[in-house]
């Protein structure tokens, strides 16, 4: 699914600026004057403009908002709130950022960075776990997270760094259809046209190394018109001997 931010604001000038700047990062912007609960689960994050639309007074509504968004929630403001209020945004409602009086460019930079963290949270966890000398068994593959190696039985697979990152990203997001934009953002750190065009080539090369029958893939499949799906084959962690 393409990355998309829901901007809750009545400031059309701000909306126009954010839309143009975020488009350069392949992030779409949807604008709403009021929160639309039935649409929240379809967006990659929320930017709430407090200068035009106040947060709901009911605490349970904020908790519901947080539970429905699997991405960052950022607050924009033109007036400084009391420190106690700002702390409550983070500690009580687990919102991600409070931005006061910053330029549009910095707002966009924070949005992009927060989305990157959410898109890469599973990979970041795997990186931390690699320091604990664990391995990950996925079907017939054994991924040694401490040595950055992948084995098929006793055979070591000669994966390139990009192929290794691709495999970890797919394993971390198994049973989820991933678009080329999501893959490019997580693995390459950008979503330029050139990057999107080479994704298919790298995935084809990865299939040749991890699939028993690359022309009839069972693990890493193509979902035509949407992207790719890595099927979970009961991945489990073991201690490296």
pLDDT at 45 over 70: yes
Considering only CA atoms, give the Rg of the chain.
21
Own/partner long-range contacts of 38-42 (Cβ < 8 Å, ≥24 apart): 39/6, 40/6, 40/65, 40/68, 40/69, 41/68, 41/69, 41/70, 42/1, 42/4
Residues pairing with 125 in the sheet: none
| Residue listed under structure tokens 């991933």 | 178
Quick one: CATH architecture of 3-119? 3-Layer(aba) Sandwich (3.40)
Among 60-74, 84-98, 104-118, name the one with the lowest average pLDDT.
60-74
CATH topology of domain 121-239: Arc Repressor Mutant, subunit A (1.10.10)
Q: Name the more confident of 15 and 67.
A: 15
pLDDT (0 to 100) of residue 41: 55
The domain segmentation of the chain, as residue ranges, is: 3-119, 121-239
**pLDDT classification of 123: cutoffs 50, 70, 90:** low
User: Fold match between 3-119 and 121-239?
Assistant: no
Of 36, 200, 2, 236, nearest to 119 by C-alpha is 2
Mean pLDDT, residues 189-214? 85
Inter-residue contact 231 to 217 (CB < 8 Å): no
Mean pLDDT, residues 88-99? 91
**pLDDT classification of 241: cutoffs 50, 70, 90:** very low
Structure-token pair, residue 195: 């990057």
| Residue 97 DSSP symbol | E
pLDDT at 67 over 70: yes
Inter-residue contact 26 to 13 (CB < 8 Å): no
Span 135-191, pLDDT tens digits: 788 888 898 887 888 998 888 999 888 899 999 889 888 888 888 888 888 888 777
pLDDT (0 to 100) of residue 38: 46
**pLDDT classification of 234: cutoffs 50, 70, 90:** low
4's CB contacts (< 8 A; 6+ apart) are: 27, 28, 29, 30, 42, 43, 44
């Amino acid at each position: 699914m393409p990355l998309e931010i829901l901007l809750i604001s009545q400031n059309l000038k701000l909306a126009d600026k954010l839309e143009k700047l975020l488009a350069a990062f392949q992030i779409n912007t949807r604008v709403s004057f009021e929160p639309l609960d039935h649409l929240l689960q379809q967006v990659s994050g929320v930017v709430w403009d407090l200068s035009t639309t106040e947060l709901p007074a009911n605490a349970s509504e904020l908790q519901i908002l947080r539970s429905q968004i699997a991405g960052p929630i950022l607050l924009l403001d033109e007036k400084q709130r009391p420190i106690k209020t700002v702390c409550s945004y983070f500690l009580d409602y687990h919102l991600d950022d409070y931005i006061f009086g910053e330029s549009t460019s910095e707002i966009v930079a924070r949005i992009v960075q927060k989305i990157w963290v959410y898109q890469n949270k599973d990979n970041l966890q795997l990186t931390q776990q690699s320091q604990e000398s664990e391995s990950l068994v996925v079907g017939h593959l054994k991924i040694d997270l401490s040595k950055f190696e992948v084995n098929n039985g006793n055979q070591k697979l000669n994966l390139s760094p990009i192929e290794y990152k691709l495999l970890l990203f797919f394993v971390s997001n198994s049973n989820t259809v991933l678009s080329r934009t999501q893959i490019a953002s997580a693995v390459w750190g950008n979503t330029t046209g050139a990057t999107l065009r080479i994704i298919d080539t790298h995935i084809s090369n990865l299939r040749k190394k991890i699939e028993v029958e690359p022309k009839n893939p069972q693990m890493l499949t193509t979902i035509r018109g949407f992207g790719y799906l890595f099927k979970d084959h009961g991945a489990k962690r073991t201690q490296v001997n």
